[in-house]
Amino acid sequence: MTALSLVTVTEAAQAATPLTDAALTALRNEGLTAFTAHGLPTRTHERWKYTRVSPLAEVSFIAAPATGDADVVRTAEGQALDVPGALRLVLVNGRLRTDLSDAAALTQAGISVQTLSDAIAADAAAVRSGLGQALALADNPFVALNTAALSDGLVIRVAATTQASTPLHLLWITAPTAGAAVLVQPRLLVEIGRGAALTLIESQTGRDGDSLTNRVSDITLADDARLTHISLHNDSRQARLLTALQARIQRGAVYDGFALTLGGALVRADLRVELLGPGAEARLNGAYAAGTGQHVDTTSFIDHAAPHCTSAQTLKGVLDGTGRGVFQGRVNVRRVAQKTDGHQLHKALLLSRGAEVDTKPELTIFADDVKCSHGAATGELDEDALFYLRARGLDADTARSLLIEGFLDDVVELVADEPLRDALTAKIHQWLESRS
Amino acid sequence: MALIEIRNLHASVEGKDILKGVDLVIEPGKVHALMGPNGTGKSTLSNIIAGRDGYTITEGDILLNGQSLLEMEPQDRALAGIFLSFQYPVEIPGVATSTFLKAAINARRKAAGDGEIDAMEFLKLVKAKAKELGVRDDMLKRPVNVGFSGGEKKRAEVLQMALLNPRFAILDETDSGLDIDALKVVADGVNALRSPDRSFLVITHYQRLLSYIVPDVVHVFAGGRIVRTGGPELAQELEAKGYADYTGAAA
């Protein structure tokens, strides 16, 4: 299926931001060609089986303007994670706003933060090598489209052995134009050098209005590097957010990810993680809540390509009204990946008859000495627990809220750092309060 | 006036009659023990008093201070002063015990027209009571009943009872799964709560608990109703002779 306006807007973006580097220009064209050739994915695509994006073809998108007064930030702050002490970088419609950001975020020793266009201008080849290949353009139409538009976004590089003491907080704000649907396609490159460590927080927020944010992140962890990566997707009611993350994790490195999704009409996370050296570790935990008019899809592929690696993914979702949740998780253990430790679990709580969840955990194992497990459970609120709480005087609504909160908070416990945990549970509580 | 009065209570589950005419009057300040063979409806009675769904009351009534409880929601019964110490306290992952206790205390305060409890006041109150009952601070931080031993669960039940100050508390098989040390701690906790205006119904299979919580009245429950009533000496007799005399009556 073709989506003409997506192509037109992307072509216009290309024309407006010509690249001097031949290789990147060619890559952009490859992206556009791939998207034009394959079009929007349909339900016949295995990885899009439960998430319908064909309505995008009916929407007339325009390029997102570089708007953003101080007011835009104020609205976003209410939606974003509140992590005291974190250095904040504000990106409005994919573009860094230094005037709204913490200046100190750009001047930390050992940590380089550049806009994508500055990074390309400085060293196009370095950017080229930081772009992941795991999500192949031909099979990933939205990654192809994002690649075609390559120009907005951010590049974060942490030099070897640098231990970043302060978390970086990216505040992504999608600001639609009244009466039109905007397309925002930022790219984020993160490279953590050998033995270095960073905590990266991302809050995706948005103003009311029609939008499609198609964001791709490329993450590289060198040997013994460590990235704690906390993401919140808390966009406005009409917003559509497609994110793709491709991470390459080398020997002894640890990617510790947690994603919380609360707001947005359509939120899809495509996660592709490659464990490339012995002792590499990935955690892809998360929680989500979807009510009427919301569709939340997490599709992940964890590739164990080296021995002695660990992966863990626990995802919990609460579905209310006619909300819909999707989890497709695949763990692939290659023949060389002996002593793999891989665990995957999805748990969903259905609060209404109209809610629905589709889960498809998959394990493909080619090594013979591994420890792997996966599971999925879907249920309703525990009647015994409800009675227990009510027998202590809690009214039915309070008892339900407490159980839902507990269901989600339970997975937030997997985040080791207490201030980050508190920031996440605060958002969950905010969501629960807005619900009642 | 009686604090609790159960009148000719009949109840069934999925068409099966479980309670077949229970009559029970408990005066304020009294401890009644309900003893009997397993599977005769003792727990059903406690669940029905607390307001659990799934039972059909076919006849009779339950009165608290002369007011019928039957049409009341479980939370309203709790707020009116009913407390059930569960035979199997429910595990609630993700909900910290302290959060749960605070919610329960605040529900009570709200019903009384008071504001929420101050954080410091709450901490002081809970820590003091917890210490008396040998409930460790780390248990308060842990999710409700998750990973608690049998003894810890029962202690946590008595802690809730101490914090919520009920008028009428039912202890449903509180002794099950307890070793003798835990039993003493729990019994001491209950005894500390005995007062002229608070009554207890202690449901148990064994006499053992009643050596520590000495009842005023002992009932034998069999076949869905009370078949014999006596003083504390009745518990001793049951311990010696067992329930053989009554299982016939149940059939």
DSSP A235-253: --TT-EEEEEEEEEE-TT-
Mean pLDDT score across all residues of chain A: 94
Q: How confident is the model over B175-190, as a mean pLDDT? A: 88
Place of tokens 């201008």: A121
The token pair at A276 is 């490339």
- Closest to B92 (Cβ–Cβ): which among A406, A411, A413? A406
**Chain B touched by A395 (CB under 8 Å):** yes
The token pair at B159 is 């802690």
Which ranges in B51-196 belong to alpha helices (H)? Answer: 74-80, 97-111, 119-132, 137-141, 150-164, 180-193
Q: State the Cα–Cα distance between residues A212 and A235, nearest whole angstrom.
A: 11
Closest CA to A115 of A158, A153, A159: A153
pLDDT at residue B98 greater than cutoff 80: yes
Closest CA to A77 of A205, A168, A210: A205
Q: State the Cα–Cα distance between residues A399 and A199, nearest whole angstrom.
A: 35
Phi and psi at A382, nearest 5°, equal -70, 115
Say which range, A165-169, A282-286, B47-51, B235-239, has the weakest mean pLDDT.
B235-239
Which ranges in B31-146 belong to alpha helices (H)? Answer: 42-50, 74-80, 97-111, 119-132, 137-141
Percentage of chain A beyond pLDDT 90 is 89
Residues 6+ apart with CB under 8 A from B121: none
Helical packing angle, A4-16 and A22-38, nearest 10° = 170
Residue A2: pLDDT band by 50, 70, 90 thresholds? low
pLDDT at residue B230 greater than cutoff 80: yes
Instruction: Give the C-alpha distances (Å, rounded to integers) separating A20 from A24, A68, A117, A413.
Output: 8, 28, 11, 47
pLDDT at residue A411 greater than cutoff 70: yes
- What pLDDT score does A1 carry? 57
The token pair at B112 is 């009384």
Using CB atoms and an 8 Å cut-off, which of residues 81-100 of chain B contact chain A?
83-84, 86, 89-95, 99-100
Q: State the Cα–Cα distance between residues A204 and A213, nearest whole angstrom.
A: 10
Class of the domain covering B4-91+164-250 = alpha beta
pLDDT at residue B250 greater than cutoff 50: no
ipTM of predicted assembly, 2 dp: 0.96
Q: How confident is the model over A210-222, as a mean pLDDT? A: 97
User: For chain B, what is the radius of gyration of the CA atoms?
Assistant: 18
Residues 6+ apart with CB under 8 A from A256: A226, A227, A228, A229, A281, A283, A416
- What pLDDT score does B178 carry? 86
Do residues A361 and A327 lie in contact, with contact meaning Cβ atoms separated by under 8 Å? Answer: yes
Q: How confident is the model over A68-93, as a mean pLDDT? A: 89
Name the β-bridge partners of A203.
Answer: A171, A232
pLDDT at residue A3 greater than cutoff 80: no
- Closest to A395 (Cβ–Cβ): which among B75, B89, B92? B75
Do residues A326 and A299 lie in contact, with contact meaning Cβ atoms separated by under 8 Å? Answer: yes
Cα–chain center distance at B117: 25
Closest CA to B227 of B33, B22, B26: B22
Number of CB atoms found within 10 A of residue A39's CB: 15
Closest CA to A239 of A299, A301, A176: A176
Q: How confident is the model over A98-109, as a mean pLDDT? A: 93
Dihedral sign for Cα atoms in the order A24, A27, A32, A35: negative
Q: Who has greater pLDDT, A12 or B1?
A: A12
- What pLDDT score does B251 carry? 40
Phi and psi at A138, nearest 5°, equal -65, -30
- The predicted-structure confidence for B57-96, as pLDDT tens digits, reads as follows 999 999 999 999 999 999 999 999 999 999 999 999 999 9
pLDDT at residue B199 greater than cutoff 70: yes
Q: Who has greater pLDDT, A436 or A348?
A: A348
pLDDT at residue A407 greater than cutoff 80: yes
Q: State the Cα–Cα distance between residues A255 and B208, nearest whole angstrom.
A: 56
Contact (CB<8Å) A402/B100: yes
Contact (CB<8Å) B100/A392: yes
Q: In what order do the strands lie in the sheet with A87-92?
A: A95-96, A87-92, A168-174, A197-206, A226-234, A254-263, A281-290, A310-319, A341-350, A371-379
Q: State the Cα–Cα distance between residues B43 and A45, nearest whole angstrom.
A: 54
- The predicted-structure confidence for B13-50, as pLDDT tens digits, reads as follows 999 999 999 999 999 999 999 999 888 899 999 999 99
**Chain B touched by A394 (CB under 8 Å):** yes
- The predicted-structure confidence for B29-38, as pLDDT tens digits, reads as follows 999 999 998 8
Residues of A in contact with B100 (CB under 8 A): 389, 392, 402
Residues 6+ apart with CB under 8 A from A374: A329, A331, A343, A344, A345, A361, A362, A363
pLDDT at residue B249 greater than cutoff 60: no
The token pair at A286 is 């998360």
- The predicted-structure confidence for A265-290, as pLDDT tens digits, reads as follows 999 999 999 999 999 999 999 999 99
Do residues A275 and A301 lie in contact, with contact meaning Cβ atoms separated by under 8 Å? Answer: no
- What pLDDT score does A375 carry? 92
Residue spans per domain, chain B: 4-91+164-250
The token pair at A177 is 């134009």
Residues of B in contact with A407 (CB under 8 A): 93-94
Percentage of chain B beyond pLDDT 90 is 78
Q: How confident is the model over A289-309, as a mean pLDDT? A: 97
Contact (CB<8Å) B95/A396: no
Residues of B in contact with A383 (CB under 8 A): 53
Contact (CB<8Å) A391/B100: no
**Chain B touched by A408 (CB under 8 Å):** yes
Residues 6+ apart with CB under 8 A from B151: B177, B178, B179, B181, B182, B185, B186
DSSP run (H or E) holding A135: none
Do residues A186 and A91 lie in contact, with contact meaning Cβ atoms separated by under 8 Å? Answer: yes
Residue A64: pLDDT band by 50, 70, 90 thresholds? confident
Phi and psi at A152, nearest 5°, equal -85, 150
Dihedral sign for Cα atoms in the order B225, B230, B232, B233: negative
The token pair at A385 is 């627990």
Q: Is A190 helix (H, G, I), strand (E, B) or coil?
A: strand
Vertex B143, ends A435 and B136: CA angle to 5°? Answer: 140
Percentage of chain B beyond pLDDT 70 is 98
Q: Is A377 exposed, middle or buried (0-12, 13-18, 19+ CB in 10 A)?
A: exposed
- The predicted-structure confidence for B133-142, as pLDDT tens digits, reads as follows 888 889 999 9
Contact (CB<8Å) B108/A393: yes
- The predicted-structure confidence for A18-29, as pLDDT tens digits, reads as follows 999 999 999 999
Q: State the Cα–Cα distance between residues B136 and A123, nearest whole angstrom.
A: 59
- What pLDDT score does A31 carry? 96
Q: How confident is the model over B96-105, as a mean pLDDT? A: 96
